[in-house]
Chains A and B, each alone.
Chain A
Amino acid sequence: MQIIADAIALGGLYALTALGIGLIFGVMRLINFAHGDLIAASGYSLLIAAGRPVLAAVVLALLAAVVLALGTERLAFRPLRRADPASLLIASFAVSVFLEKLLIVFVDSRPKGVDFLPGLAAPVELFGVRLQQLQVVTIAVSAALLAGMTWLLRFTRIGLEMRAAAENFRMARLLGVRANRVIAAAFALSGVLAAAVTVLFVAQTGVVAPRMGLTLVVIAFVSTVIGGLGSLPGAALGGMLVGSTSMLLQAFLPDELRPFREAFVFLAVIVVLLFRPQGLLAARGLRERV
């Protein structure tokens, strides 16, 4: 039971990260490495806000991630919008390294402890099972955000435009969907998701570092591939799947193989790419040479 809760909590975190990356890929075929730096930036804003009320810290983290996401879009990715996916990939790599090193210039590269929401470490009884409060919060927040995203994409005008743009950007524009607005909205949303991940992640680990987002993003990146690049439900599902698989591997793999669990996860990525390049949930209309 404890393992299942762990698996769902981790899966939720990965799903949120994967959704942030999947959103951007959907609207502009960009694999956004810099998503990890959104997480790092909002992590450091939690550090700055240490001692302030929790709400203020969360708002600051949110603001940092959203502003940074919009900034990278405006300054780096918009001018490159017509570039091929490979150049975009390199560009996002460059943006990510740039932001990370810039962060190091200002805060140096050593990890710093943040005592964020220490109260959540306390255990809680739920349905006769002892769980960490933080796990419950993580699961609840992930579920709420996934539901919120689903609502936004399904029932709002901008959500409809985003889905259309994800399927066929040129046609969406021909109907009058404003490219800049839709892409900026996607980046803003990815910022919101990054900030949520940060808050949960920092509450869990109590540490911020310039590279804190890297592992999360690398895994989320894989999740979007497994779930199907360009498919948003696929991204969330992939995140869930990778998170729970890696928890289960951690629990059931023999001791001597345990440290290699990431290698297994990435092996699975290659296998998926080879045998089901469109992912588990294929995106429609994805005509990119995936």
Chain B
Amino acid sequence: MLRVENLHLAYGRVTALRGVSLAVEPGAMVSIIGPNGAGKTSLLGAIAGDVAAQSGRILFDGAELRGLPSDAIVRRGIALVPEGRHIFASLTVRENLTLGATIRADRAAARADIDRFLSIFPILRERAGQPAGRLSGGEQQQLAIARALLARPRLLMLDEPSLGLAPKIIDQVYDYLAEVRREGVAVLVVEQNAGRALAASDSIHVLNGGTVRLSGSGAEVMQHAGFDSAYFGVAL
């Protein structure tokens, strides 16, 4: 479904990605792990159209995405939950959710979906009329995921969804992601710490220094003799 081929991205003289390739199939869960500064956020940003890659291909259902603005890419069916969540703090919880559905023409169905999410996440329903800035970190993460899903994406991308959350909340988030997958949505998740992502994923890529150092299933990657050097970049 998504194919990234030989992607290069630089900010001025600083190179973030040097030839990254990977693929995500429908309903699959793919994790990208790697240390700080490995290029993980840049990769998701490039796919979502938030930052521009200089060369390479980003194919979604065979169509090139590179060069499209982010507001067009989400219409193709790719939603991003960025690092730090970026909920709109001054808008209410319900308004945040409404914005998630802003690309949809089926207003009535979108409203029904919003109500469905509010019943899935009771805390959000309680606070539907309050500014989202008052939610706790975990609640904001739930809101950000729900907001992204309201666009009805076929690929959901999450940047460090467990950052700053308590272990119990992280479990809830991953449990929910498993549910999302059952509805046929593919998930591409970036984590700095392998932890929870490893167990949940079909395949894992270790990104370091702007390239994929190691790929495989969770167990393969963790047991691979080269894991430490791939992750920590010792063998650079």
Contacts and interface: CB of A to CB of B under 8 A. Distances in A.
A39 B74 CA distance: 38
Interface in B64-83: 69-71, 74-75, 79-80, 82
A157 B95 CA distance: 10
Interface string A173-210: 11111110000000000000000000000000000000
B69 A160 contact: no
Interface residues of A, number: 20
A176 B103 contact: yes
A275 B71 CA distance: 38
A174 B48 contact: yes
Contacts of A173: 50, 69-71
Given A160-B95, A174-B50, A168 B102 contact: no
B89 A284 contact: yes
B151 A176 contact: yes
Contact of B133 (A160, A164, A178, A284): A284
Interface string A149-180: 00000000100110110011011111111110
Q: Is the contact region of chain A dominated by helix, strand, or loop, or is it mixed?
A: helix
B180 interface: no
A285 B89 contact: yes
Nearest to B131: A284
Contacts of B141: none
A176 B74 contact: yes
B100 interface: yes
B71 A285 contact: no
Contacts of B82: 171, 174
Contact of B88 (A164, A178, A179): A164
Contacts of A168: 86, 88
Nearest to B90: A284
A174 B133 contact: no
B98 interface: yes
B61 to A, nearest CB: 18
A284 to B, nearest CB: 4
A167 B50 CA distance: 17
B91 interface: yes
Nearest to A285: B89
Contacts of A161: 99, 102
B102 A175 contact: yes
A170 B147 contact: no
Nearest to A176: B103
**Size bracket of the B interface:** 20 to 34
A153 B109 CA distance: 23
Contacts of A163: 88, 90-91, 95
Contacts of B147: 175
A168 B144 CA distance: 14
Contacts of A160: 91, 95, 98-99, 102
Contacts of B88: 163-164, 167-168, 171-172, 285
B170 to A, nearest CB: 22
Nearest to B107: A157
A171 B79 CA distance: 11
B71 A176 contact: yes
A173 B99 CA distance: 10
A165 to B, nearest CB: 10
Max chain A C-beta neighbours (<10 A), residue from B70, B75, B98: B70
A58 B201 CA distance: 63
Contact of A179 (B71, B75, B133): B71
Interface string A253-290: 00000000000000000000000000000011100000
Given A163-B91, A179-B69, A171 B102 contact: no
Q: 9 tightest CB-CB pairs across the interface, nearest first?
A: A176-B103, A284-B90, A176-B74, A171-B86, A173-B70, A173-B71, A284-B89, A174-B70, A167-B88
Given A174-B48, A176-B74, A285-B89, 11 more contacts: A160-B99, A164-B88, A170-B86, A171-B82, A173-B50, A173-B69, A176-B71, A283-B90, A284-B89, A285-B88, A285-B90
29 contacts: A160-B91, A160-B98, A161-B102, A163-B88, A163-B91, A164-B88, A167-B89, A167-B91, A168-B86, A170-B50, A170-B86, A171-B88, A172-B88, A172-B99, A173-B69, A173-B70, A174-B48, A174-B71, A174-B79, A175-B151, A176-B75, A176-B102, A176-B103, A176-B151, A177-B102, A178-B71, A179-B69, A284-B89, A285-B88
